[in-house]
Amino acid sequence: MPLSAPVNRALRHRRAITAEAYLREDGLWDIEARLTDTKPRDIALAGGGVRPIGQPLHDLWLRVTIDLRMNVVDAEACSDWVPYPDHCDTIGPAYRQLIGLNLMKGFRKAVRERLGGVAGCTHLTELAGILPTTAIQAFAGDVFKIRDGASDDSNPEPPYQLHGCHALHFEGEVVRQFYPRWYGHQPKPRARADAPAASPPQSPQAIAGDDGVASRQSTGTSG
């Protein structure tokens, strides 16, 4: 265990969150997240009945389809297991409101404004918050350029991940060793999912379509 050894304790709740990204045959990307809540005991539900051990309290899914500029062109949500059936699980269509947003342009703020509180499901709205960084990880190497040789002058912008965390700041040892061209570079404002910003950089190969996969641009507008 990487954390320090805990005191004696008993498991009372487990929340599992997974996220996966898929490149579709039409050139768009699906970013799909799932949240599951379970307990190591039978659960007496406030709405009546008992949820036996092994059955989840929550099992929720959220998927957005994005183009190469991270515009959301489709979205859907479903709630397979909820504490109040026929109530909690009716909110899925509200998450169509994610269509037209951009994962890197004020996405989390827009999600809170459109689907916060009683306008949405607390857990689905929380789950939406991991979509931007999941998409960034998926695009790394395929859409975003992440490697850059010292003699490569074809790209005037640094690889996307640089100066995005403490290990990769422009004055750091990692940049000095592995990205010497950008060591000491003066950073520009970065795109953020929780505040308006410029579109993230893209590789020319990805925009043109690589390996015969045609790229499609969103017909929606960015948020």
pLDDT at 207: 35
pTM: 0.77
Residue 5 resides in a domain:
no
- Strand 29-38 vs strand 14-23: parallel, antiparallel, or unpaired? antiparallel
- The pLDDT, as a whole number, for residue 109 is 97
Which of 85, 110, 138 lies at the terminal end of a domain, its last residue? 138
Q: Is residue 127 helix, strand or coil?
A: helix
Residue ranges in the chain modelled with pLDDT below 70: 1, 148-155, 189-193, 195-223
- Judgement on whether residues 121 and 51 belong to the same structural domain of the protein: yes
Choose one of 123, 138, 153: the last residue of a domain: 138
DSSP state of 201: P
219 domain residue, yes or no: no
For the stretch 34-71, pLDDT in tens is 999 999 999 999 888 999 998 999 999 999 999 999 99
Task: Indicate if 48 and 157 belong to the same structural domain.
Answer: no
C-alpha to C-alpha distance for 160 and 144, rounded to whole angstroms: 6
Domain hosting 203: range is: 145-210
Q: Is residue 8 part of a domain?
A: no
* Domain final residue, candidates 79, 113, 138: 138
The pLDDT score that the predictor gives to residue 217 is: 36
Check whether residue 55 and residue 101 sit in a common domain. yes
Any bridge partners for residue 76, and if so which? 63
State the pLDDT at residue 1: 62
